[in-house]
Chain A
Amino acid sequence: MIRGGKSFVSSPPAFSNDAKKLLICTGNNVSVFSTSTGLQITELEGHTALVTSVIVVPASTPASKILCYCWTSSLDGTIRYWDVSVPELMKTIDIRFPIFSMVIPGLLPQQAESNEKPPDLFAYVSTKNMKEQEQLPNNLSGQIRLSKKKILSGQIRKCNLTQSRLARGVTLAETQNPELITICSSGKYIGIREKCTIRIWDVPAKDSDDAVLKKIRLHRTKKLSILAFHPTERIIAAGDVTGRILIWRGFGQKTFSISDKSINRGLMKNEDERSGVRGDDDADSCTTWHWHSAEVKVLFFSSDGAYLYSGGKEGVLVVWQLDTEKKKFLPRIGSPLIYFINSPDPSLSSISCADNRVHLLKMPSMKILKSIAGIKLPCSVPEIYKGSCNGFGFDHTAGLVAIRTENYCIQFYSLFDDREISEVQVCERNHQPGDEVTVIVTLVALSLDGSVMSTVETKLPDEGIGGLVSLKFWACGAQSKDFSLSTIIYEPHRDAGVSAIAFHPTRHIAVSSSYGGDFKIWVRNHEIQQKDRMLQNGGWTCHAVGSYKKKPMTAATFSADGSVLAVAAETVITLWDPEKNVLVAVIGECLEPIARLSFVGKSEYLVSASRGSSPQVSVWSMSKLSVCWSYKLHAEAVACSVDDSSFAILALPISSHHMESNETTLQGMEDGMILLFNVGDPVPVVTWFVRKAKGGGLAFLHMTSASLEENISDEKPAPVLLAYINGDHEYVLFDPYGEQAPERSVAHQGSLVGLEETGKFGYASIFGELPEFNLKRNQSPSVAIVPSGKPWETIFSGSSHNLPPLTKLCTAFLESLLEKRTAILE
């Protein structure tokens, strides 16, 4: 079983001390990526729920830089300590509360004195009060409001890491929701933001269990979204939902300062001088900067404190010079920014984007060195067009999934290797992440051999003008999945939307059905091989048009041998001969329009799925032209195996019907199930309950790649795997007939690459790799010359200083003059 497709951006990543590794929280694991190659090196496995923070222990001496230890916290209520380089779990602290955020102030100052016993290490964790939780089972979101009482479920607590326990009775704050704790890079202050206020605590230098933390609050009229501490001065920056950045200078002058002088200074300042500071907030001044048009999500001070990085929904990283307010931009990142992290190496930092991508930046120039891309998240689609979007395109043999992305691309993601293969720009348009969605890639389909892709994009009209549907066919380049555009068809069905595309299993024929009441069969012209080796790719042309009683055509599919084309005309299924374009038969009558049609393998059965108020999944027999059996099920996805006669359905509960939750409720609601059927039998073979099934996908994958066979060599090699992708694009691959439940997690090591020291230095760093000199070329002439009988020409060629000594040459020379008798020894 293979799991993957986790979010890389659920929580901020962390750099290792030598900046060669990037630790990214991916679901229940922490994945370690090499910053030079952008590939995954290893994984830290052990947490049983989402990892929420990872903190790398800074190196105290330059020598220990290559060592890497880290603390992680997770929603499973544990804090763990790891040796990343091995990788090995070294310590587990169970505090039994889900941890949403953790900071460890004591780590940050360098501990020079080693003869003393090091003081206890304390972590501040943002947890959720589980007692409230117990009163209200089933509620995980934390956004609970009882009728009268406000429930403060979020708590900031202190945890003694050295003694592995929570500091008793110390609850710094209670908040409505668990908040993200921000820490100053010197470890002096920690802060959280809660709605319109910021709470800041001063962490004492010698922290102990019962140390009292001084605290202040800063206020703002708008809801705040993020805050950041200046590394050296008492400056705090906060971003709010309107896109403004507030800079408080000299916060906590009164409260935190111990020395009398500063108190006096603070008192001397009268109220008028404290420009922009609200009420009796403890700060010298507050300035507001405004560039962002939407909520600020990223704020980060550079390590010297001279610059402030900010970013948000626009996908533009803004660098503010703190003193002059001058701005520099890194535009067109293409997706909202979530985190910005710098590394111990001043020339490297990383941005995490909302599209599940982590970019590594070369710092002063802000050039993107590498991108670590996870699976793209589902794109938002206006509600009216939801129905016309299909989920995924699967390449069944290569184990690839084609995902429609927000920025008009198709991402090819390898399910076996859990990494991005390529991205195809479907619509050449600049994507502004903040904008309203007006252009959508609605459909993607791959031919059975994966060589042809077809996409449909819809441009939504603006008050009735300018809408456009275009159908595109893409041809695959050699081997790698880089598709090139072969044909564009504008308005393939006039102005009606395309409901489905299906490819003929063996030949270059495709069918597109439309809500406008017709379907078209497209064929590819024969390729013209021209003499000058320019392979002119044949374009796709319309071969036939068909319609049935002007009814909207809602789904289409070819049978396994391609001899029958089934097109759903709203509630009935029409069967056509795709060659002659002749209507063969009309079967069935569903209650609701059919949304999916699929032939089951090579059998004579056809599965149809309809949605709506009275959904239905029916199996039709082609020999009897009648329904065999049907269920009242809302099928989100239907997958049919190619060879045998089984199929799987991803079923959603019908409307408000809830599943009885068993003990797995702790891990979240299971809102869908996968049913595996054998086609002749209405009783499902296997049933699995799954989470986040809405918007999910199913597919049977065929394992053919040899490398994969190796990975599971200990098990029986499974010929068919069932892939399930949930609504958040996390996926799991498992053998549908295997014994193991999908909950069991089996590690896959296939894609991990060893950490190579690929950092280039010296000549190579400037000029790149030298081309490898072809040694063969040097050797082959010498081989050729020996039988020619004139070796002296080669013996003495070359400059004198690199000739061998004369004594050696002489023997060779004389030898060459002697006539050699060819040995005839057989």
Chain B
Amino acid sequence: MAEEDTAIAKTFPVKSKLKTSRKSTSNPESKYWKSFKPQPTQTLISSITSLSFSPTPPHDFAATHSATVTIFSTQTLEPKATISAFTDTATSASFRSDGRLIAAGSHSGIVQVFDVKTRSPLRKLRGHSRPVHLVRYPRVDKLHLFSGGDDAIVKYWDVASQTQISELLGHKDYVRCGDGSPASDDMFVTGSYDHTIRLWDVRVSGSSSVMEVNHGKPVEDVIFLPSGGLIATAGGNSVKIWDVIGGGKLLYSMESHNKTVSSICVGKIGRESEEESHQYRILSVSLDGYMKVFDYAKFKITHSMRFPAPLLSIGFSPDCLARVIGTSNGIIYAGKRKVKENVGSMEDPQKRVLRPSYFRYFHRGQNEKPSEGDYLITKPKKVKLAEHDKLLNKFRHKEALVSALSGKNPENVVAVMEELVARKKLLKCVSNLDTEELGLLLRFLQRHSTMLRYAGLLMGLTKKVIEMRAEDVRASDVLKGHIRNLKRSVEEEIRMQQSLQEIQGIISPLLRIAGRR
């Protein structure tokens, strides 16, 4: 019955043509990555050389910048603690697997280990003669760490005794990056400016690498992918993925950055209770200011995001709630994802039985929500009509046109005009407009007649209006001004068209040649 009712008394408001919707990028994945709302935190003193997350909840993160390591809380994104016991620029902070200790290198060549809570320096590992850019704890092992410096040496340390267990030689240039293997705590990779990435195994006697791959560009960052079988390396404009188990075979080279890729990390699509949770992605940041998300299963960029500054470092929280990006000018873009408070629905407290002695008894059931199986009787929705629609329904055509013109939305005006064309009343309306309303129309035409979407209708209309109302325009100075403006915008459009045509003339032979090949 309701349907029958609507079928007869339907009123359609006038609608303009639909816009061509741009290819929407909001697939669920980019929605996920956009859900990390990046907000710049307070500016630190200089560029953020590294960012690392604590492996234990609440997953604080440490940022190294100038001669300090600042530990931020992930919840508030505010600095929690500052460690400034460095004599030179601090680099490469790394949390121990239990999150209680943090190690960091510095340009002075000393690797220091701090207690995260008390911030007191516990150990100083001296051995590098040049700035240390790589300090890493293995994934599980709490007793050792490895470091690499500009002296092209990689060292493996016993932290407790502050002694170096082995010295791994092989790189021929600065060692700038490295990562411990998730599969074995005795293995790690390091990348160097000599374009090579070396895989080390401390169990192997002798200080030569187990494997070596050549990236082709100075290596800025190297990470193990979670399986342990693949590594991703960043250097130059490219990120490359290598199969370690397969003997260092290059699987893919992602070259979509325009400047040096400065840092990469593993990101995770962690959505609870969905079959596709825990899909891993490579997040890469580059000096061109772009952060890209790379799906290394499909070898496809799934999301990319632009920041206003060169990006130096990136970190992703293990619980998938935060992503931080450090820039060269000291701003950290920390993005936090909101999670729904998943509070277990508590049992409703026993409701008191309402008796007629309560006032609420008489109000009972008024706020009742319909349950799923209920048959809902809804009020018929009132159709909201705009002013011009109401006027059109009353066949007051000129008023409708003027009402749309005095509104702000050009689409409405064009829609009303199209409807008037369909009723064959547009020109009659135009001839009935008084001077003021004509001014309104001319101003609208001046603004919008050269827009591509409306030009088809409006250019023809403009011609007609000028033809029909020439007398009135001559009589009024205001209208003359409008006409002058109109002329100017039309001339500008013609100029633009000409220059576009010129460009087309230049390009089309090129395309022709390219097509022939």
A contact set with B: CB distance below 8 Å: 331-334, 359, 367-371, 423, 425, 428-430, 435-436, 438-439, 459-466, 468, 488, 490-491, 530-532, 767-769, 771
Contact = CB atoms under 8 A, between A and B. Distances in A.
Interface residues of B, number: 36
B418 A468 contact: yes
B464 A465 contact: yes
Contacts of B423: 435, 438
A459 B375 contact: no
B370 interface: no
B463 to A, nearest CB: 8
B4 A370 contact: yes
Contacts of B15: 428
A766 to B, nearest CB: 10
A371 B1 CA distance: 10
B460 A429 contact: no
The DSSP consensus for interface residues of chain A is loop
A369 B12 contact: no
A436 B425 CA distance: 11
Interface string B1-19: 1001101111110010110
15 contacts: A331-B9, A368-B4, A369-B1, A370-B4, A371-B4, A438-B422, A438-B424, A464-B460, A465-B464, A466-B422, A466-B426, A488-B17, A488-B18, A771-B373, A771-B374
Interface in B143-172: none
B421 A466 contact: yes
B101 interface: no
B424 A462 contact: yes
The listed residue with most A CB atoms (<10 A of its CB), out of B1, B8, B427, is B8
Contacts of B8: 332-334, 359, 368, 371
A368 B10 CA distance: 13
B265 interface: no
Contacts of A367: 5
Contacts, number: 83
B140 interface: no
Contacts of B418: 459, 466, 468
Interface of B: 1, 4-5, 7-12, 15, 17-18, 27-28, 274, 276, 373-375, 377, 393, 417-424, 426-427, 456-457, 460-461, 464
Nearest to B276: A531
Contacts of A369: 1, 4
Given A466-B461, A771-B375, 12 more contacts: A428-B12, A438-B422, A459-B421, A460-B422, A462-B420, A465-B421, A466-B422, A466-B460, A468-B418, A530-B28, A531-B28, A531-B276
A368 B457 contact: no
A466 B417 contact: yes
Contacts of A461: 421
A465 B18 contact: no
Nearest to B425: A462
B421 to A, nearest CB: 3
A448 to B, nearest CB: 28
B419 A429 contact: yes
Contact of B377 (A436, A466, A768): A768
Contacts of B28: 530-532
Contact of A465 (B375, B377, B419, B426): B426
A428 B14 CA distance: 8
B457 A466 contact: yes
Nearest to A539: B21
B375 A768 contact: yes
B373 A462 contact: no
B12 A465 contact: no
Contacts of A425: 10
Contacts of A491: 456
Contact of B11 (A332, A438, A459, A771): A332
B427 A462 contact: yes
Contacts of B5: 367-368
Q: 10 nearest interchain CB pairs?
A: A466-B421, A465-B460, A428-B12, A462-B421, A438-B422, A462-B424, A368-B8, A466-B457, A332-B9, A439-B422
A802 to B, nearest CB: 21
Given A430-B12, A488-B18, A531-B28, A463 B7 contact: no
A465 B427 CA distance: 10
Nearest to A423: B7
A532 B28 CA distance: 9
Contacts of B18: 488
Contacts of A767: 375, 377
A462 B1 contact: no
A465 B1 contact: no
A477 to B, nearest CB: 15
Q: Which of B10, B27, B374, B393 has the most CB of A within 10 A?
A: B10
Contacts of A464: 460
B375 A490 contact: no
A332 B424 contact: no
A587 to B, nearest CB: 31
Contact of A436 (B375, B424, B460): B424
Contacts of B1: 369
A522 B418 CA distance: 27
A768 B426 CA distance: 48
Contacts of B375: 767-769, 771
Contacts of B461: 465-466
A465 B17 contact: no
Contacts of B460: 464-466
A331 B11 CA distance: 11
A332 B393 CA distance: 10
Nearest to B427: A463
A439 B419 CA distance: 10
Residue of B375, B456, B461 with most chain A CB atoms under a 10 A cut-off: B456
Given A435-B423, A771-B375, A463 B4 contact: no
Contacts of B427: 462-463
A475 B84 CA distance: 66
Nearest to A315: B8
Nearest to B461: A465
B170 to A, nearest CB: 46
Contacts of A531: 28, 274, 276
A461 B417 CA distance: 12
A353 B494 CA distance: 53
Contact of A429 (B12, B274, B393): B12
Contacts of B373: 771
A429 B11 CA distance: 8
A333 to B, nearest CB: 6
B8 to A, nearest CB: 5
Contact of B393 (A371, A423, A430, A466): A430
A127 to B, nearest CB: 38
Nearest to B374: A771
A367 B6 CA distance: 10
B437 to A, nearest CB: 19
Contacts of B426: 462, 465-466
Contacts of B12: 428-430
A362 to B, nearest CB: 9
B344 to A, nearest CB: 24
B385 to A, nearest CB: 11
Nearest to B459: A465
Question: Could you say which of A333, A428, A464, A771 has the most chain B C-beta atoms within 10 Å of its C-beta?
Answer: A428
Nearest to B417: A466
B30 to A, nearest CB: 13
Nearest to B14: A429
B419 to A, nearest CB: 7
Contacts of A771: 373-375
Contacts of A532: 28
A4 to B, nearest CB: 22
Interface centre among B4, B417, B457 (most CB of A within 10 A): B4
Contacts of B10: 332, 425
A459 B12 CA distance: 17
Contacts of A463: 427, 464
A104 to B, nearest CB: 34
B155 to A, nearest CB: 47
